[in-house]
Amino acid sequence: MSDAPRLTSLAHGGGCGCKLDPATLRQLLAQQPAAGPFERLLVGNETADDAAVWELEDGTCLIATTDFFTPMVDDPVDFGRIAATNAISDVYAMGGRPLFALAILGMPLGKIDPEVVARILRGGAEQCAEAGIPVAGGHSIDAPEPIYGLAVIGTCRREAVRRNADAVAGDAVLLTKALGVGVYSAAIKRATLDEAGYRDFIATTTLLNRIGTDLAADPAVHALTDVTGFGILGHGLEIARGAGLTLALEADALPLLPQAEALARAGAVTGASHRNWAAFGEAVDLPADLPEWRRHLLTDPQTSGGLLVTCSADRADAILARVRAAGYPAAARIGRIEPGPARIRVAA
């Protein structure tokens, strides 16, 4: 029996749960200079969007993003697959198609076997191959904790760019994957998640969000973003703030992974969930009788989560059916965009 340390034991957090909390990130970005008067920079950091977008001369746009994190699972191949899926998702969330990736690798030399590192890289490359792209290079360092991710370059036409700030009053809101990845991660770290739960966890976190490319081709789809470390409330609030409108969520309509409720009730909650609520809870209106476990799932950090979509209400059912048929059976209609202040209102 191997005495090698578990990957998750080498990191203080895991997955998108190790992101800086939203309040700290906003404070840091507010102190940075504006990107400048670059007319071809269609999307920078002004809207907390998923990737940067630069327009070329012929109306083609380049999409550039980077995403990396510490392990949330102990299997190195699965870690690589999840991290790659999560990073590529940013291109899909902008409405693009990925072209190639560069690996980002930090490993604690002397604490982790090189073969384990090779398996992480193999998992990432396998997932990139599934997306139809190569890992064309990268960079590595000796780091205190294991870190892996990708920088991804993609492309789209200008008319296909979908920001998180372009929701319209009256839009329906859809979510393409179930919530609960964070509480599953907490259970994995405690070694209390059963085999069925782990299979569900891997299935959702390695499901590519390639449907975003198809959705962006539909003029009835107005805003797109992926739900990651800030949870459904945090990324929903980015949509509300970007549009200057209210996002009304139906708590009972939110799709959940099969064991998410039971795990949340049992206290399998991440520290990131608490940080998320502290960062933006003042901009969220909750029902007075909302159970605490349900609130935790609203701030539950998702790694490689689904796409949050706003679209014309009269097309919502058809778009939802198309998403489900494309291989996202948990997709659901979860709310609407309303006139009002840039807040989230949750109804039970």
Residues of the binding site for Mg(2+): 50, 90, 226
Cα(109)–Cα(126) distance, integer angstroms: 24
Cα(319)–Cα(281) distance, integer angstroms: 31
Cα(221)–Cα(50) distance, integer angstroms: 17
Cα(251)–Cα(218) distance, integer angstroms: 27
Encoded amino acid at 260, one letter: A
Encoded amino acid at 263, one letter: L
| Catalytic residue chosen out of the listed positions 16, 18, 61, 128 | 16
Which phi-psi region, left, alpha or beta, contains residue 43 (left: φ > 0; alpha: ψ -120 to 50)? beta
Burial of 343 (0-12, 13-18, 19+ CB in 10 A): middle
Binding site: residue ranges?
19, 47-50, 67, 90, 138-140, 226
Sheet with 52-55, strands from edge to edge, namely 41-43, 52-55, 60-69, 147-157, 97-107, 135-142
Binding site for ATP: residue ranges?
19, 47-49, 67, 90, 138-140
Concatenated DSSP letters for 80-95?
HHHHHHHHHHHHHHTT
Q: Known catalytic residue: 18?
A: no
Residue 277: strand, helix, or coil = helix
Check: CB of residue 69 under 8 Å from CB of residue 303. yes
Cα(221)–Cα(166) distance, integer angstroms: 9
Residue 15: strand, helix, or coil = helix
Encoded amino acid at 148, one letter: Y
The residues carrying an active-site annotation are 16
